[in-house]
Amino acid sequence: MKRFSIHVLLLLQTVVYSQNEFHNEKSPVFSNCDILEFNEQQRCFDNEVRQFIYKNFKTPPGVIEAKYEGEVSVLFEVNAEGQFKVIYVDAVYDELKEELKRVFSMFPQIKPGMYNGKPSFMQYSIALNIPLNRNASANTGIKPNRINQIQEKAEREFDSITRNLTAF
C-alpha cells in the first residue's frame, strides 16, 4: 500500500507541474514591447532593433560614391544589464563597420533577457542590405531574385538533364 501511495503522489506531482506554462528563456524587452504577450515580445524586439538602425544609420560617403550594394552582418548581444554590445561586424568597408558600431552604441538600455528567472546576456545576429531600404518590412529577409543569363542557361541545362534521366 505504501508503494502504491508513493507512486500516486509522484504521478500527481508530475501531472500538476506539467500543466504549468513555464518559460525558462525570455528575450530582452523594449519599454513599448512590455505590454505585449510573451509570444509577441521577440518579434517586437526584432522590429525595434531594425527600426532603430534604419532611423540612425547614415551611409558613409565613401560607400555612397562606390555605389556599393551588398550585405553587412552584425553579431551583437544584450548583456545582463540591458545594454547593447557589438561583438563582430562583417562588412567590406571599414566605414560601414564603424557606422554600425556607432549606431549600436546609441541604443537605449532595455530590460535584459531572462534565463531561468535571472537576467542574462543574449546574442543575436542581423543581416542588413546596403543601401538600407527603410521602407522594407522587418519580417522579410527576402532579396529580389536577379537571374542573369548564365544562371538561366544553367537552369535550362539542369532541367534538360533531369528530363532525360531513366530509372534503373
Per-residue pLDDT tens for 16-43? Answer: 555 455 557 888 999 888 888 888 888 9
pLDDT digits (tens, 9 = 90+) for 83-114: 999 999 999 999 999 999 999 999 999 999 88
Confidence grade of residue 56 (pLDDT, cut at 50, 70, 90): very high
pLDDT digits (tens, 9 = 90+) for 132-144: 776 554 444 323 3
| Residue entry with cell 560607400 | 63
Confidence grade of residue 116 (pLDDT, cut at 50, 70, 90): confident
Whole-structure pTM value: 0.65
Give yes or no for a contact between 91 and 59, defined as CB atoms under 8 angstroms apart: no
Tell me: pLDDT of 158 over 80.
Answer: no
Q: CB within 8 A of 41, min separation 6: which ones? A: 26, 27, 29, 33, 34
Instruction: Give percent above pLDDT 70 in the chain.
Output: 71
DSSP per-residue string spanning 99-167? HHHHHHHTPPP-BPEEETTEEE-EEEEEEEEES--TTS-TT--PPP----HHHHHHHHHHHHHHHT---
